[in-house]
Amino acid sequence: MAKLSLMFENKLVKEVPIGSRPVTIGRSPDNDLPVDNLAVSNYHARVYFEAGRLVVEDLDSLNGTFVNDLRVERATLHDGDSIWVGKHHVKVDATADAAIPWDTGRKTAAPKINETMVLDTKVRREMIQQAAAMGERAQFSAGRMRVATLVVLSGKIDIKEFTLTNKLTVIGKSPMATVRLKGWFKPKMAAQINQRDDGYYLGTGDKVPTVNGTPITGTVRLNDGDLIEICGVRMNFIFRE
Amino acid sequence: MQIVSSGLSDVGRVRTNNEDSFRIVEALNLFILSDGMGGEAHGEVASAMAVDVINKVCESEKEDSGATVLDEAPATISSQTRRLKSAVAQANFQIFQAAQKNPEQRGMGATITAMWLKDTMLSIAHVGDSRAYLLRSGNLQQLTSDHSLVAEQVRRGLITPQQAEESEMQSVLLRALGAHPEVEIDTDEVEIIPRDVLLLCSDGLTRMVTEPEIAGALQAEMVPSSAAERLIALANENGGVDNVTVIVVRFEDDANKGWFSWMRRGSAKKD
């Protein structure tokens, strides 16, 4: 069972367990953790479990709630965190508590949505936290986006490497083409690569490119290391971290 | 290059009001589509406002009207794309302000997909989950990335596109016009070549109709107005749970004039 310990300097004032009911912190005596200090609002903050995570929420207090050094409106708590209200702080002890993995709690935690909505303030933070938690589990962080790159192995092209940043990358003689082919009989738009949510797709243009030696039909999803050949140019499709 | 376009909007089979707005400005080769959100009639207000503001800003003579260029956009994008982007930024701010002033309009917002063609250069500005597609050489390519929670999860490799399609969180947007005083706007530029077909559509189409079906309809119906009708009919046949709006734009060689004037006569419904 997780517990909260209200401290003043190094002295323990009161200790409460956290169960299904939220724990309230404030100046009013009916709080679970009453703090007798004018800098603390009557109902200052509350702590509760949500989707398996321990959350602190500031109740529009005048002087704010801080987790460690950061002022928060709402934050997920971890073992060892300190919630500061005025000169008091509440230590979080979550050691004995096994957090429920997020994906088992997802269905109930997510609001039922039919209408289109924009994630805003509270909901947004909540969902991003949940998504982040999910990301941690999948060993994936927001910062680590892979950049697709075409490396030219052979053929008449001046530039040896292209980073595919646009939604649509054109390979051809057109002046707008990212991968610009040279030569009299080269088509304006030989082939194209479309960046989609789940990866990069090579499509035919005026020519049919080959991927790993096989001519493509329609569009194919490119995999790291694929060898593309078109109009006498050989390129390697790779992801860079 | 010759351009024929047609736009069509339908309330769908389930809803009673249509919150989508679109506009085709032939004189400017400007195409705007917006899907509004927020209860009562406020979604309509937001999407109509988005379309109107963008149209006005793009129309205005001055290259940069007022303090519009909020972004320190890289010099790699053209002045035309920057202008379209600032038009979207202004639309966002005006919707936001209107929502702040009228408490009953709180929470209203809109998606935006705007395209502006100059010569052969197509500027794209986009926020939300209304999409733009390019049909070229028989391949349907998506020119925009949805700013939705599920799309973000797909991009991070947390769920598959199939899971995203089944998710009940599909309507959750990470970005929209009107939610904050400033919004991050995606821009892109694509060179248009003859025989390209461009499609702008609200999520009422993409949730009901698969991409192969969309590609099929665009290839089967050469006349944009017929293609638009066909796409809307498909969305309604598959359930029509949301408003459906499409703009279909077809580009053709100048050489092909005879065929072209025939097609123009066929395209009746315009905004």
Number of CB atoms found within 10 A of residue B234's CB: 19
> B48: phi > 0 → left, psi -120 to 50 → alpha, else beta; which?
alpha
Inter-CA distances, A57 with A45, A75, A95, A182, A238, Å: 6, 7, 21, 62, 45
Tell me the chain B residues in contact with residue A201 when contact means C-beta distances shorter than 8 Å: 141
- B24's enclosing H/E stretch is strand B20-25
ipTM: 0.78
CB contact under 8 A, A192 and B160: no
Substitution target from B126, B172, B211 for chain A, most A beta carbons within 10 A: B172
Q: Indicate the residue of B136, B179, B188 with minimum beta-carbon distance to A192.
A: B136
Bridge partners (DSSP) listed for residue A85: A88
SS3 for B82-127 is: HHHHHHHHHHHHHHHHHHHHCHHHCCCEECEEEEEEECCEEEEEEE
Q: How far does CA A7 lie from the centroid of its chain?
A: 34
Per-residue pLDDT of chain B (271 residues; tens, 9 = 90+): 899 999 999 999 988 899 999 999 999 999 999 999 886 678 999 999 999 999 999 988 555 544 445 555 555 678 899 999 999 999 999 999 999 898 888 889 999 999 999 989 999 999 999 999 999 988 999 999 999 988 988 888 888 888 888 887 888 888 999 988 989 999 999 999 999 999 999 999 999 999 999 999 999 999 999 999 999 999 999 999 899 999 999 998 877 666 656 666 655 444 4
CB pairs under 8 A between A and B: 113
CB contact under 8 A, B203 and A166: no
Q: Indicate the residue of B138, B141, B151 with minimum beta-carbon distance to A194.
A: B141
CA–CA distance, B271 with B267 (Å, rounded to integer): 11
**Backbone angles phi and psi of B255, in degrees to 5:** -60, -25
Nearest Cα of chain A lies from the Cα of B154 at a distance, in angstroms, of 6
Per-residue pLDDT of chain A (241 residues; tens, 9 = 90+): 678 889 888 888 888 888 778 899 999 888 889 988 888 888 999 998 887 788 899 998 888 888 887 888 888 888 888 999 888 899 988 765 433 333 322 233 333 345 666 665 555 556 555 655 554 444 333 445 678 999 999 888 888 899 998 899 999 988 878 899 888 888 888 999 999 988 999 999 888 999 999 999 888 999 999 999 999 999 999 998 7
Q: Indicate the residue of B138, B179, B188 with minimum beta-carbon distance to A120.
A: B179
CA–CA distance, B114 with B112 (Å, rounded to integer): 6
Instruction: Tell whether B152 lies on the interface with A, counting CB pairs under 8 A.
Output: yes
Q: Indicate the residue of B139, B143, B203 with minimum beta-carbon distance to A204.
A: B139
Substitution target from B143, B190, B191, B241 for chain A, most A beta carbons within 10 A: B191
Q: How far does CA A74 lie from the centroid of its chain?
A: 18
Q: What is the pLDDT of residue B269?
A: 45
CA–CA distance, A221 with B90 (Å, rounded to integer): 38
Instruction: Tell whether A167 lies on the interface with B, counting CB pairs under 8 A.
Output: yes
CB contact under 8 A, A192 and B139: yes
CB contact under 8 A, A117 and B173: yes
Instruction: Tell whether A30 lies on the interface with B, counting CB pairs under 8 A.
Output: no
Instruction: Tell whether A218 lies on the interface with B, counting CB pairs under 8 A.
Output: yes
Q: What is the pLDDT of residue B145?
A: 93
CA–CA distance, A174 with B59 (Å, rounded to integer): 29
Q: What is the pLDDT of residue A134?
A: 52
Tell me the chain A residues in contact with residue B172 when contact means C-beta distances shorter than 8 Å: 113, 117-119, 127
Q: What is the pLDDT of residue B22?
A: 96
pTM over 0.90: no
Q: What is the pLDDT of residue A98?
A: 39
Residue in B with minimal Cα distance to A204: B137
Q: What is the pLDDT of residue B72?
A: 54
Bridge partners (DSSP) listed for residue A210: A215, A229
Any idea of the CA torsion for B58, B64, B70, B72, to the nearest 10 degrees? Answer: 110
In the numeric block, which tokens belong to residue A18?
Answer: 């956290």
Residue in B with minimal Cα distance to A218: B139
CB contact under 8 A, A203 and B188: no
pLDDT in tens, A171-216: 998 887 889 988 888 888 899 999 998 899 999 988 899 999 999 9
Tell me the chain B residues in contact with residue A116 when contact means C-beta distances shorter than 8 Å: 35, 37, 129, 171, 173, 203
CB contact under 8 A, B191 and A174: yes
Tell me the chain A residues in contact with residue B151 when contact means C-beta distances shorter than 8 Å: 197
Q: Indicate the residue of A118, A168, A205 with minimum beta-carbon distance to B176.
A: A118
Instruction: Tell whether A110 lies on the interface with B, counting CB pairs under 8 A.
Output: yes
